[in-house]
């Protein structure tokens, strides 16, 4: 909200589309450099003319793909994250400008070396040409070495959260496993692209030689190495506090539990996008491995371009899906332990370098922490929201105000991940819900807990985020009034009658009020678990309310007063079986 929100639906998908294509090509740019120079060395040592010609052909494909599409889509990621997450990009640039500058020196060498390598085939002495090839391979891998630090930091920022130190963020908990995994991926992709270029070679014998070599030496070993390195990566992430098991909706963090969760359907908990992405990764990776085995064992002479293209597509799905899972693991953060996906920062923990007085004097106190926005409200914190027209401020115009202000709040707080009807659509989630029940959910989207799961505070690090049904959402930020208005807006999106909407008034029925706020989100008639009293008495309900997590682990413990507990028990007993409860129709 410090920056304007790019007002388009599912802007995050733009990042995903560009990033997935870029990482696919850029990892090939890393592995492919090594592949090319080794291929050239082999061809020269064996005085193998046809193989050397293939290396030239591959290098032409290589520069056309990596120097143009790869390099420019890399810039594209930078452009698009600046548009979709300007606040996070600004923080990243501020923290890691020298990391990017260092990476740029390798990029500079990489681009120059690729051009000299390509244009030097018929000009440079063999030794020099090979040297340029090695320089390319090294520079390309080093650019991965550097960028990996920044990418890994976003998930596991390490000691940076307290020190704000460059190296503390760079060499974080997942740095090494991520680097190893990405290096293996780069090697595997080099093999896949070699198979693709080989599919164009008319000489069947040469084609078979190249394909078998690429399959056995480059692709298939990675089918073992990549899963192992990813297991290491997930374990390191979990060790750093990333709720891997929660995200996948698994019982625990064991490999068996994670796999079982990925292949389960309709999980009531966890992050559905990450779960689906992981499923695609598994399926694509297994299919890719089997088809590459088939190619190496039986089809190396006869495979065609469609077959090679299929392998590439499977590689793209596996790679893109993995990046999607990584993004899912990071939710609800955009920068772990520092900034949520909707650009709100945690209040600064004690001990973190604080801005000097002169800075605060010039720019004021941070207006975009959770605490600050809770105090000021969203509408008063940002110059990029559309103010509420004066005529909507009367109580009679509550629905119209909710329509206007709620939409603004949704845009600022929710649209980083949700659309109304498209990707991660909100309408199906709020259909038929009452403002009261939605306010209950919004108010408990996320809360800070410590490692043992006990309530904590947002400025006590490390923060573990307990989210509603493990959906990995950021907490609501804004005033109570804004929360109610957002809830009313969502109720309207869900089909509520505008004429029935009004400012929330204290209810005389304490039990009903408690139920609407805390229970109806799941237990309304069209919720995930419609409530049926089953003929129980108030006394029975009273006793059950005291052990809610024991009845179902997804239920939070009752946190109300004794009077509320009694009233809630009365209300539950009075409800009809499986009929609509509360909620605007």
User: 455 has which bridge partners?
Assistant: 449
Smallest distance, another protein to C-beta of residue 147, A? 13
Tell me if residue 524 falls in helix, strand or coil. coil
Query: Vertex 216, ends 211 and 219: CA angle to 5°?
Result: 85
Give residue 7's Cα distance to chain centre: 20
CA dihedral 198, 199, 205, 206 (to 10 degrees): -10
> Which lies closer to another protein via its Cβ, residue 365 or residue 451?
365
Smallest distance, another protein to C-beta of residue 14, A? 7
| Token duo for residue 130 | 């090979």
> Which lies closer to another protein via its Cβ, residue 93 or residue 539?
93
Q: Nearest 5°: phi and psi at 340?
A: -80, 165
Q: Are 381 and 342 in contact (CB under 8 A)?
A: no
Among 506, 488, 507, CA closest to 584: 488
> Which lies closer to another protein via its Cβ, residue 17 or residue 554?
17
Smallest distance, another protein to C-beta of residue 49, A? 9
Smallest distance, another protein to C-beta of residue 363, A? 6
> Which lies closer to another protein via its Cβ, residue 221 or residue 347?
347
> Which lies closer to another protein via its Cβ, residue 266 or residue 362?
362
> Which lies closer to another protein via its Cβ, residue 200 or residue 359?
359
Smallest distance, another protein to C-beta of residue 560, A? 37
Among 121, 173, 142, CA closest to 29: 142
Smallest distance, another protein to C-beta of residue 536, A? 52
Segment (H or E) for 293: helix 272-294
Smallest distance, another protein to C-beta of residue 465, A? 21
Among 287, 307, 285, 298, CA closest to 195: 307
Smallest distance, another protein to C-beta of residue 319, A? 20
> Which lies closer to another protein via its Cβ, residue 97 or residue 460?
97
Q: Are 554 and 469 in contact (CB under 8 A)?
A: yes
Smallest distance, another protein to C-beta of residue 458, A? 15
Smallest distance, another protein to C-beta of residue 303, A? 27
Q: For residues 437 and 545, give the distance between their C-alpha atoms in angstroms, rounded to a whole number.
A: 18
Cα torsion angle, 329, 335, 340, 342, sign: negative
Q: How many CB atoms lie within 10 A of CB 360?
A: 12
> Which lies closer to another protein via its Cβ, residue 339 or residue 442?
339
Smallest distance, another protein to C-beta of residue 477, A? 16
Q: For residues 281 and 403, give the distance between their C-alpha atoms in angstroms, rounded to a whole number.
A: 40
Find the length of the chain: 585
Give residue 342's Cα distance to chain centre: 13
Q: For residues 486 and 213, give the distance between their C-alpha atoms in angstroms, rounded to a whole number.
A: 59
> Which lies closer to another protein via its Cβ, residue 345 or residue 512?
345
Q: What share of the chain is helix, strand, coil (3-state, %, to 5)?
A: 65, 5, 30
Q: For residues 298 and 561, give the distance between their C-alpha atoms in angstroms, rounded to a whole number.
A: 72
> Which lies closer to another protein via its Cβ, residue 1 or residue 234?
1
> Which lies closer to another protein via its Cβ, residue 56 or residue 276?
56
CB neighbour list of residue 161: distance below 8 Å, 6 or more residues apart: 336, 337, 338, 349, 352, 461, 462
Smallest distance, another protein to C-beta of residue 257, A? 39
> Which lies closer to another protein via its Cβ, residue 75 or residue 298?
75
Q: Nearest 5°: phi and psi at 239?
A: -60, -30
């Amino acid at each position: 909200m410090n920056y304007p929100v790019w007002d388009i639906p599912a802007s995050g998908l733009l990042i995903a589309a560009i990033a997935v294509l870029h990482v696919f090509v850029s990892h090939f740019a890393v592995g492919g450099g090594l592949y090319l120079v080794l291929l050239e060395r082999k061809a020269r040592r064996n005085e193998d003319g046809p193989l050397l010609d293939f290396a030239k052909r591959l290098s032409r494909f290589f520069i056309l793909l990596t120097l143009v599409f790869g390099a420019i889509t890399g810039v594209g990621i930078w452009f698009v994250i600046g548009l979709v997450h300007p606040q996070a990009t600004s923080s990243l640039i501020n923290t890691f400008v020298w990391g990017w500058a260092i990476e740029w020196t390798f990029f500079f060498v990489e681009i120059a070396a690729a051009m000299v390598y390509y244009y030097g085939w018929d000009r440079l002495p063999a030794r020099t040409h090979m040297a340029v090839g090695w320089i390319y391979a090294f520079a390309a891998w080093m650019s991965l070495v550097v960028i990996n630090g920044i990418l890994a930091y976003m998930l596991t920022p390490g000691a940076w959260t307290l020190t704000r130190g460059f190296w503390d963020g760079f060499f974080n908990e997942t740095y090494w496993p991520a680097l190893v995994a990405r290096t293996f991926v780069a090697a595997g992709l080099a093999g896949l692209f070699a198979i693709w270029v080989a599919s164009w070679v008319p000489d069947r014998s040469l084609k078979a030689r190249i394909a078998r070599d690429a399959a056995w030496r480059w692709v298939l070993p990675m089918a073992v190495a990549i899963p192992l390195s990813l297991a290491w990566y997930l374990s390191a992430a979990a060790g750093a506090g990333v709720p891997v098991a929660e995200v996948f909706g698994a019982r625990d963090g064991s490999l068996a539990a994670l796999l079982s969760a990925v292949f389960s359907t309709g999980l009531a908990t966890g992050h559905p996008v990450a779960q689906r992405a992981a499923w695609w990764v598994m399926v694509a990776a297994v299919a890719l491995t089997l088809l590459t085995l088939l190619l190496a064992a039986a089809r190396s002479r006869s495979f065609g371009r469609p077959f090679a293209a299929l392998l590439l597509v499977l590689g793209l799905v596996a790679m893109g899906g993995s990046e999607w899972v990584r993004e899912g693991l990071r939710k609800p953060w955009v920068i772990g332990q520092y900034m949520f996906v909707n650009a709100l920062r945690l209040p600064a923990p004690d001990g973190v370098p604080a801005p000097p007085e002169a800075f605060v004097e010039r720019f004021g106190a941070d207006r975009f922490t959770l605490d600050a926005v809770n105090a000021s409200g969203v509408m008063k914190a940002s110059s990029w929201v559309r103010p509420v027209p004066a005529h909507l401020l009367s109580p009679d115009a509550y629905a119209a105000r909710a329509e206007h202000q709620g939409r603004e709040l949704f845009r600022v707080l929710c649209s980083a991940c949700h659309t109304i009807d498209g990707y991660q659509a909100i309408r199906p989630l709020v259909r038929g819900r009452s403002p009261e029940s939605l306010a209950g959910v919004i108010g408990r989207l996320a809360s800070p807990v410590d490692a043992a799961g006990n309530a904590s505070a947002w400025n006590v690090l490390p923060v573990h985020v307990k989210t509603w049904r493990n959906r990995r959402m950021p907490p609501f930020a804004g005033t109570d009034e804004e929360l109610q208005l957002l809830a009313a807006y969502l109720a309207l999106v869900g089909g509520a009658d505008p004429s029935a909407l009004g400012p929330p008034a204290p209810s005389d029925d304490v039990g009903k009020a408690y139920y609407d706020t805390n229970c109806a989100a799941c237990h309304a008639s069209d919720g995930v678990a419609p409530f049926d009293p089953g003929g129980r008495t108030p006394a029975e309900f009273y006793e059950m309310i005291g052990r809610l997590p024991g009845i179902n682990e997804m239920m939070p413990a009752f946190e109300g007063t004794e009077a509320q507990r009694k009233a809630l028990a009365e209300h539950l007993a009075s409800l009809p079986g499986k009929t609509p409860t509360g909620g605007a129709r």
